[in-house]
Chain A
Amino acid sequence: ITGESRELKLAHNQSLDHPIHLSLVEFGRLVEEKSNNELTVKIYANGQLGSEREVIELTQTGAVDVAKVSASALEGFESDYSIFSLPYVFEDYEEFEIVMNNDEITDQLYYQTENIGFIGLTYYNAGTRHLYTKDKEVTSLEEMRGLKVRVQPSQTSVRMVEALGGIPTPMAYGEVYTALQSGVIDAAENNETALVGNNHGEVAKYYMYTGHQIVPDMLIMNAERFEHLTDEEKEIVKEAAVESTMYHEGIWTETIEEFTVIAKERMGVEFVDVDKSIFIEAVQPLHKEYAANEKTRDIYQLIKGGTLSE
């Protein structure tokens, strides 16, 4: 189509020094390089165009062409994405990677949302979530009992903490620091960046490697805009997406290693290995529900089949 803008508007809500921004810049660079600047990418960082939910809606309407959002933000739009919130659906990151590089599974996931206006292009590692507490080690279900844990405002996260015996306390992320400090909550759960990037390590001194959730970031694109690209451009966009995912893997791992050292040495956070099997056992009722619920049954089987077949 002549005269149409050849610029892809890409929105995300992280700061300019966040690893994901660098990876999205790499995505843009790859698109521009591969297309000889026929296609350009303009990045709106820092949540300039709105919250993740708003940005997904903007991608649906076409005001935004491409967006990086958390898979958890997509749950409300397509229930398949809620599978990532299911604790221990992946036992570790290797298992997660196997699934996310299985085209049969990702095609199902990425094109499921075509009828509501967008498709998935790729995923990015956004860390593995672990439990951290203000002042006590938690390695058993007994120690979990009665623990007030901040969770994201999602039903699955609430159910997860309940299943583990804790008291789920949904609250906005910005309030976690003060809430830990004042004792409104005893614990929170997130990847290592929370300790350093958001200074939670100043008030939380124990970080347990529970690895209960691996919720990736997703790169989504307006379906119609993608459809209007030439076949060659479609290939370019997809290739650039996948290559930026690999690029991201490297800088993300580096960031986590760096943050772990800072948390340990400068903030005095103790990192504790735990026996995950007791926790995995405790959340099995949730797995049964996902396997039985008709909205999540197919994707659950697909993922479980994907990991078992390897």
Chain B
Amino acid sequence: MNKLKVVLDKTLITSASLLLILMVIFSVWQVLARYVFNISSPGTEESIRYLLIWFGLLTAAYVFGAKKHIAILFFREKFSPRTQLLIERVTDVLIILLAAILMVFGGIKIVLLTSAQTAAATGISLGVVYAALPVSGVFIIIYTVISMMTKRINENEEVGV
């Protein structure tokens, strides 16, 4: 189980890092194109937006694995450890249901709905963009199952930036 998680983590971090670097390059390119080369770069802004969607949903999935989505644990910690564990499990099931129904099932439906739709500047199919949702949903389900099988206590962050 842990081995699988390591592989998933690596996959997500690597692809998200590449997307991030690509987005930095595109943004800087956009400035250079405007001032230095005096040319237009019609597709960059749109490409960046779609890369960002993939980046956002993949990193969100990774954060589920890392249990770093912020939560308010102050009140839950007033309960007995047994109750806390029960609440934790119920939350896990809720996350799996949500990822399965909304992100995977709903995601596939929205991919089908939008696959014929084309983006204004780049002309790519919107289905490719929306596909980030079911993909990240699958990752979230696997992570949560692994967590249910291996971890006993919640480590979600209480604080953010």
Query: Does B associate with A?
Result: yes
Q: How far is the CB of A147 from chain B (nearest CB, A)?
A: 12
Q: Chain A residues with Cβ under 8 A from B119's Cβ?
A: 76
B120 in the interface (beta carbon within 8 A):
yes
From 88 to 111 in chain A, residues with beta carbon under 8 angstroms from any chain B beta carbon are none
Contact of B113 among A57, A168, A170 (CB under 8 A): A57
Stretch at the interface among A150-158, A210-218, A234-242: A150-158
Q: Is the CB of B40 within 8 A of A170?
A: yes
From 34 to 73 in chain A, residues with beta carbon under 8 angstroms from any chain B beta carbon are 57, 60-61, 72
From 38 to 72 in chain B, residues with beta carbon under 8 angstroms from any chain A beta carbon are 38-40, 42, 45-46
B117 in the interface (beta carbon within 8 A):
yes
Q: Chain A residues with Cβ under 8 A from B121's Cβ?
A: 153-155, 158, 170
B84 in the interface (beta carbon within 8 A):
no
Q: Is the CB of A154 within 8 A of B116?
A: no
A75 in the interface (beta carbon within 8 A):
yes
From 101 to 143 in chain B, residues with beta carbon under 8 angstroms from any chain A beta carbon are 110, 113-114, 116-121, 123, 126
In the complex, the chain B residue whose C-beta lies closest to that of A166 is B40
- Given the contacts A154-B121, A155-B121, A155-B123, A184 and B34 also touching, CB distance less than 8 Å: yes
Q: Chain B residues with Cβ under 8 A from A61's Cβ?
A: 113
Q: Chain A residues with Cβ under 8 A from B45's Cβ?
A: 153, 170-172
Task: Compute the total of residue contacts between A and B using a CB distance below 8 Å.
Answer: 47
Contact of A76 among B34, B38, B42, B118 (CB under 8 A): B118
Bound-complex Cα distance A225 to B4 (A):
47
Q: Looking at chain A's contact residues, is the secondary structure mostly helix, strand, loop, or mixed?
A: mixed
In the complex, the chain A residue whose C-beta lies closest to that of B118 is A76
Contact of A153 among B38, B42, B118, B126 (CB under 8 A): B42
Q: How far is the CB of B118 from chain A (nearest CB, A)?
A: 5
A169 in the interface (beta carbon within 8 A):
yes
Q: Is the interface on chain A under 10, 10 to 19, 20 to 34, or 35 or more residues?
A: 20 to 34
Q: Is the CB of B39 within 8 A of A167?
A: yes
A173 in the interface (beta carbon within 8 A):
no
Q: Is the CB of A170 within 8 A of B116?
A: no
Q: How far is the CB of A33 from chain B (nearest CB, A)?
A: 35
Q: Is the CB of B40 within 8 A of A168?
A: yes
A302 in the interface (beta carbon within 8 A):
no
Q: Mark B24-39, 1 if CB is under 8 A from A, else 0.
A: 0000000000100011
Q: Is the CB of B120 within 8 A of A155?
A: yes
Q: Is the CB of A158 within 8 A of B114?
A: no
Q: Is the CB of A60 within 8 A of B38?
A: no
In the complex, the chain A residue whose C-beta lies closest to that of B121 is A153
A116 in the interface (beta carbon within 8 A):
yes
Contact of B120 among A60, A76, A172 (CB under 8 A): A76
| Central interface residue in A60, A77, A116, A170, by most chain B CB within 10 Å | A170
- Given the contacts A60-B113, A61-B113, A153-B46, A169 and B120 also touching, CB distance less than 8 Å: no
- Given the contacts A167-B40, A171-B45, A153 and B120 also touching, CB distance less than 8 Å: yes
In the complex, the chain A residue whose C-beta lies closest to that of B123 is A155
**13 extra A-B contacts, CB within 8 A, seeds A168-B42, A170-B42:** A72-B120, A75-B120, A76-B120, A76-B126, A77-B117, A79-B118, A117-B113, A153-B42, A153-B120, A153-B121, A158-B121, A169-B34, A169-B40
3 closest cross-chain pairs (CB), A and B = A153-B121, A158-B42, A154-B120
Query: What is B's interface to A at a CB cutoff of 8 Å?
Result: 34, 38-40, 42, 45-46, 110, 113-114, 116-121, 123, 126
Query: What is A's interface to B at a CB cutoff of 8 Å?
Result: 57, 60-61, 72, 75-77, 79, 116-117, 152-155, 158, 167-172, 184
